[in-house]
Structure 1
Amino acid sequence: MPESGGVQSLDRAIDLLEILTDLGGDAGLSELASRSGLALPTIHRLLRTLVNRGYVRQLPSRRYTLGPRVVRLGEAAGRQLGVGTKPHLERLAHELGESVNLAILDGDMVVYVAQAASTRSMRMFTEVGRRVHCHSTGVGKMVLAQLADDDVHKIIASAGLPPATEHSITDIEALFAELDSIRKRGHAVDDGEQEIGVRCFAVPVSGTPTPAALSVSGPAVRVTDEFGERAVPLLCETAATIGEFLSVG
């Protein structure tokens, strides 16, 4: 049910878009009905409007998928997300002297949505918009640690555990043991699991609609455990500020 003062039909249409997203962007009527709890006539009516507006497409198979106008909204939202969070990331990158990244869960992977690069000549640079596997990155493992075990299983069943380096986790039991450790200590560490010679510390960004994480990364010779002791509290402070910004409204 929509919150007091909300519009029920709009609330239900958004539910359908979110369900489509959760199902990988493609679903049949029976799946939408099962997930939403709505009657088929109601779903048909809402989908007809969404199809007419370009937010949903109906495939020849009669299944439904997200439409091109969703991409346009996502691109605009991503740009604004980067603009709004960049000053916080730049301050933290200046204070720590290393690159800082903000990433969110995107289907079965994580996508980098903002970055402030280190000014050092030897630095870690990740392109905004890049999607990476969750299990082999600091931000990805931190995102997984925020999810229920069943949701983690679904992501791994879809994306697998391909090794990015010889240090990547490739065993599901080892991954869950790592996630337990991350939940206990409150931050994740990527020790050459995505790229040899690069280390990363990541913390959760709370209050966001989609699980998110903030990280600092750089050459292993500089991003040591001692560096992490100083960096993690500062990451947590900035993550709290970003979480408040993203949860406004």
Structure 2
Amino acid sequence: MGRRRKHDPDDLSSPEQGASEEERDYSVRAVERVCLILNLLQESVDGITLNEVAQTTGLPKSSAFRYLWTLENHRYVERDEEGGLFRLGLGFVGMQSRHLEILRERARPSLQQLRDDFGETANLGLLDGDHVIYIDIVESRRGVRLAASRGDRVPIHCTALGKAIAAQLPEDRVRDLLKETGLERRTGNTITAIDDFFADLAKVRRTGYAIDDRENEEDGRCVAAPLLGTHLPAAISVSGPSSRFTMQEVKKVAKALLDTASGIATNPLQGEPESSPA
């Protein structure tokens, strides 16, 4: 007779045929606990603590952490290392298309204003997996301009949007992203050493904005600021040909971007729903 396997109460796999009623009941309880955690995350604006998860689910803190770790591993939960808070992660991006559309609608007038004020292309980007995806683009009206297309994906290490977002992430998360993508040399100015990249991120944190100085395109220059109040890994930027968009102009645009990013994060659209959409 084969040895009977001891039941693991944190095993989320489907019960085998012939499993006891108790085991089948536990399988349901495990799913209910995951749903409780996700509902708690959805209802929270600023994020939830491990203690809140343990209290809501009735789990010991060690078990609650294992649930959160599993959800984080599948990108359904994102952890703020500094504050110790957990939030909904990018695994739900596809399910939150309305949420992203609200962000795009909220940012659109500001992007248009940036384009009109500086004559260059304005962009909204979001970290999706290990690349940044362009959510919206308001192109410069000039004949010669620097502009991607909505839906284009670009690396984090050589773009202003990518650096602005990466500077807000825990270091180990950034290292994991770079392990997946590498630091491909796109131009002679591309940062290809990980220590140099983290030094650049430290500068981004000090100044509040990121610069791509001909690192992704030979004649491209871009400056970006993160959208800190949205709880999404997102940023806005202004980009143009380096022959016209000088470093002196970049500093002026950076100040406007910081003000604009703050406004986007704190001024929701009229009629915007209070809770996260399904």
If the length of structure 1 is used for normalisation, what is the TM-score? 0.71
Aligned residue among 11, 24, 37 for 2:66 = 37
Aligned residue among 210, 216, 222 for 2:244 = 222
Partner of 2:59: none
Offset from partner CA, 1:99-151 (integer Å, 9 cap, x none): 11111111211111112111111111111111111001011011111112111
Partner of 1:176: 198
Change (3 A) 1:72 1:175: closer
1:76 is displaced (CA, Å) by: 4.5
- Where do residues 162-173 of structure 1 align in structure 2 (5 Å cutoff)? 162-173=184-195
Distance in structure 1 (CA, Å) of the matches to 2:246 and 2:170: 30
Partner of 2:131: 109
Q: Structure 1 counterpart of 2:257, which letter?
A: L
Say if 2:116 is the partner of 1:87.
Answer: no
For the residue of structure 1 that corresponds to 2:191, the secondary structure is coil
Structure 1 contact 81–113 (Cα < 8 Å) conserved: no
Partner of 2:37: 12
Change (3 A) 1:193 1:15: farther
Distance in structure 1 (CA, Å) of the matches to 2:266 and 2:41: 27
Aligned residue among 181, 206, 210 for 2:228 = 206
Structure 2 contact 130–181 (Cα < 8 Å) conserved: yes
Q: Structure 1 counterpart of 2:226, which letter?
A: P
Structure 1 contact 190–200 (Cα < 8 Å) conserved: yes
Say if 2:176 is the partner of 1:147.
Answer: no
Offset from partner CA, 1:198-238 (integer Å, 9 cap, x none): 10111121112222211111011221121122211111111
Q: Structure 2 counterpart of 1:205, which letter?
A: L
For the residue of structure 1 that corresponds to 2:196, the secondary structure is helix
1:172 is displaced (CA, Å) by: 0.7
Partner of 1:195: 217
User: Which of structures 1 and 2 has the bigger CA Rg?
Assistant: 2
If the length of structure 2 is used for normalisation, what is the TM-score? 0.64
The count of corresponding residues between Structure 1 and Structure 2 is: 201
Offset from partner CA, 1:65-97 (integer Å, 9 cap, x none): xxxxx6763544444432332111101110111
Distance in structure 2 (CA, Å) of the matches to 1:34 and 1:189: 42
For the residue of structure 2 that corresponds to 1:105, the secondary structure is strand
Structure 1 contact 110–132 (Cα < 8 Å) conserved: yes
Distance in structure 2 (CA, Å) of the matches to 1:167 and 1:35: 46
Distance in structure 2 (CA, Å) of the matches to 1:75 and 1:219: 32
State the identity as a percent. 34
Distance in structure 2 (CA, Å) of the matches to 1:143 and 1:72: 19
Aligned residue among 140, 151, 165 for 1:129 = 151
Offset from partner CA, 1:145-197 (integer Å, 9 cap, x none): 11121111111112211222222111111111111122122211101111110
List runs of 5+ in structure 1 lacking aligned partners: 1-6, 18-32, 44-54, 56-69
For the residue of structure 2 that corresponds to 1:194, the secondary structure is coil
Structure 1 contact 208–246 (Cα < 8 Å) conserved: no
Distance in structure 1 (CA, Å) of the matches to 2:40 and 2:216: 34
Structure 1 contact 137–193 (Cα < 8 Å) conserved: yes
